[in-house]
Structure 1
Amino acid sequence: MNNLKVFQSENVNYLVNDLRFAPLLDVETELSFEQRKPFYMAEYHWHQQIEINVLHKGTLEYAINNAKVQITAGEMAVFWAVTPHRVSKVSEDAMVGIINIPLSAFLGWVLPQEFMQQVMHGGVITSSTDGVVSLAESNRWLSCYHNENSVRNRIVSDEVCLMLRRLCSFDYKVEMFSFLRNGSSRHPSDTGYKNVQLMLDYIAKNHNKDIKVDDIAAHVKLHPKYAMGLFKNMLSVSIKQYLIIMRINHAKVLLSNTRNPIKNITNDSGFKHPGSFFAAFKKHVGITPQEFRDQTM
């Protein structure tokens, strides 16, 4: 497993990724888990993973770009942690389970398109955990990663994905926030950060259309080569690679939830030619579109 460390705190075992909180840098390839008492944070931080916080006890308040979001015992929050955030208030009895999901893994999961876009556009999802995930299940996931069993770890990853799919089947709240840092959360790379976020937003809204790098760069009024370099430096993935990932994820949703012919799904996902779609899908998913449909329907 990559950069996972085991810590002991007040007789609670938990795992923490050795994060440096570098903005828009997703070098982690594994899920990470913590279970601990949350603590007040004087400063904002941000990182590239999708973060899930499940509050088992007490109350917890986040400051997200100077706005407030509160969850109480039995609730959870899901958000893309590139949005500057900090814990602004916490009760003495609070206990939280934290799951960090690599962006590459999250984008590859079969989740409702609306939910994906809400998270990727700065939404903070909050919901009751009743029927979604239990404390016993969270502890079992933690134990699996503590034992470092590769087979069980893959199963845990699948189960976290299914937990998010269950979440989407319930009513949940969404609060939208700007990704652009402000006030005390200013950072020297804000201009580049804003441009990358504008590119991500444009791709999220248009990935199933016939768009190219030039179109994405023109949207943010940058030279294509500069836009490509900025995107790659901040996300460690090229614009073309990211666009393909988004299109494949779109195709996976259609393959799982519709009976549309694969030829139609090729076009609906933004691929111009069936050959390029099949090659990209097999490379990233490991099986053909038809095999994927057979396994998920």
Structure 2
Amino acid sequence: MPRPDRHEEIEINYLNEGSLVYNLGGRQIRLEPRRLTMFWAALPHQIVSFKGVASYFVVTIPFDRFLQWGLPESVQSHLLVGDAIACTDPQQSQIDAILLERWRTDLNHADEQTHRIVLLELQARMMRLSQSAPLGPPPVGDDDSAVRPKPQASTLEKAERMACFIAKNYKRAIPIADIAASVDLHPDYAATVFRKSFGVTINAQVTRHRVADVQSKLLSTDQPIIDIAYGAGFESLSSFNRTFRTSTGMTPRAFRKQFRR
């Protein structure tokens, strides 16, 4: 990948053999063979190295559909801060290989009923992965060493580490000056580097995380909307309502009513 990719989906990777390394929001993660791995692809991600990989499976799930599946809030929280979640059950690997090949075959047919079956099977697999993955509390604050500046880092590397800093800290007020300081850049230059690297502004990236967090909480908790909004980092209810409607096309109340089961 010549430059980082970014899309509003959950991405699942599975390697039959070999290994590859992603730079995910400024941190490197290694994908091992025969281990189903998922991450939030809205974070800038880029394959930086690979070994012995002839081909591999990639599944993408629209983020709003993924939220409707009702996976544990701890899983959603880990994904939102840039963690990858991988299967650790060796007995599951052969089953995953069979499932992925079947899904690939089924989705090549225009049978709507078969497509629904694939989605149900995929949902069930993600629920099993959520149960088996060893998850501690998601990282919080700005003490992650991955976002500390490295000497002589390229502008792209610094942009990736800014993305990671945002993922870790979006729930609090984070001035652009703080984000720039995390990679030792002037705020104006940091804003330019980030926009040129990822095609969005720093503020837009912060908003993306906050709206995603709110969507997750609306569907997985009974918290009042105002508490969810402030908890995600929005500083006023009017700003939150305006931003949420612009991002999703509906009010928070309508979103919860339409998508929550």
TM-score range, shorter chain: 0.5 to 0.7
Give 2:233's aligned residue. 270
Distance (Å, rounded) in 1 between the aligned partners of 2:227 and 2:106: 40
Residue among 203, 206, 210 paired with 1:243: 206
C-alpha contact (below 8 Å) 2:219/2:260 kept by paired residues: yes
Residue among 29, 33, 42 paired with 1:71: 33
Q: 1:195 to 1:276 in 2, by over 3 A?
A: same
For 1:34-49, what aligned pairs fall within 5 Å after superposition? none
Distance (Å, rounded) in 2 between the aligned partners of 1:173 and 1:234: 31
Give 2:14's aligned residue. 53
Q: How many residues align?
A: 231
CA drift of 1:78 comes to 3.7
Q: 1:70 to 1:193 in 2, by over 3 A?
A: same
CA drift of 1:267 comes to 0.4
Matched, 1:127 2:88: yes
Structure with the largest fraction of strand: 1
User: Aligned letter for 1:52?
Assistant: N
Give 2:190's aligned residue. 227
CA drift of 1:284 comes to 2.1
Matched, 1:201 2:164: yes
C-alpha contact (below 8 Å) 2:20/2:47 kept by paired residues: no
CA drift of 1:222 comes to 1.5
Q: 1:171 to 1:280 in 2, by over 3 A?
A: same
* TM-score normalised by structure 2 residue count: 0.67
User: Aligned letter for 2:4?
Assistant: L
Q: 1:198 to 1:67 in 2, by over 3 A?
A: closer
C-alpha contact (below 8 Å) 1:50/1:106 kept by paired residues: no
Give 1:22's aligned residue. 2
User: Aligned letter for 1:229?
Assistant: T
C-alpha contact (below 8 Å) 2:176/2:202 kept by paired residues: yes
Distance (Å, rounded) in 2 between the aligned partners of 1:241 and 1:155: 36
Give 1:167's aligned residue. 129
Matched, 1:98 2:62: no
Secondary structure, counterpart of 2:52 in structure 1: strand
Give 2:176's aligned residue. 213
C-alpha contact (below 8 Å) 1:71/1:126 kept by paired residues: no
Give 2:46's aligned residue. 82
C-alpha contact (below 8 Å) 1:247/1:269 kept by paired residues: yes
Distance (Å, rounded) in 1 between the aligned partners of 2:184 and 2:191: 13
C-alpha contact (below 8 Å) 1:53/1:77 kept by paired residues: yes
Deviation string, structure 1 residues 209-232 (Cα, Å, up to 9, x no partner):
112323212322222222122112
Secondary structure, counterpart of 1:248 in structure 2: helix
* TM-score normalised by structure 1 residue count: 0.60
C-alpha contact (below 8 Å) 1:109/1:249 kept by paired residues: no
Secondary structure, counterpart of 1:287 in structure 2: coil
Percentage of identical aligned residues: 21
Secondary structure, counterpart of 2:57 in structure 1: strand
User: Aligned letter for 1:269?
Assistant: A
Give 1:289's aligned residue. 252
Distance (Å, rounded) in 2 between the aligned partners of 1:232 and 1:149: 41
User: Aligned letter for 2:18?
Assistant: E
User: Aligned letter for 2:227?
Assistant: N
Distance (Å, rounded) in 1 between the aligned partners of 2:30 and 2:177: 38
Secondary structure, counterpart of 2:234 in structure 1: coil
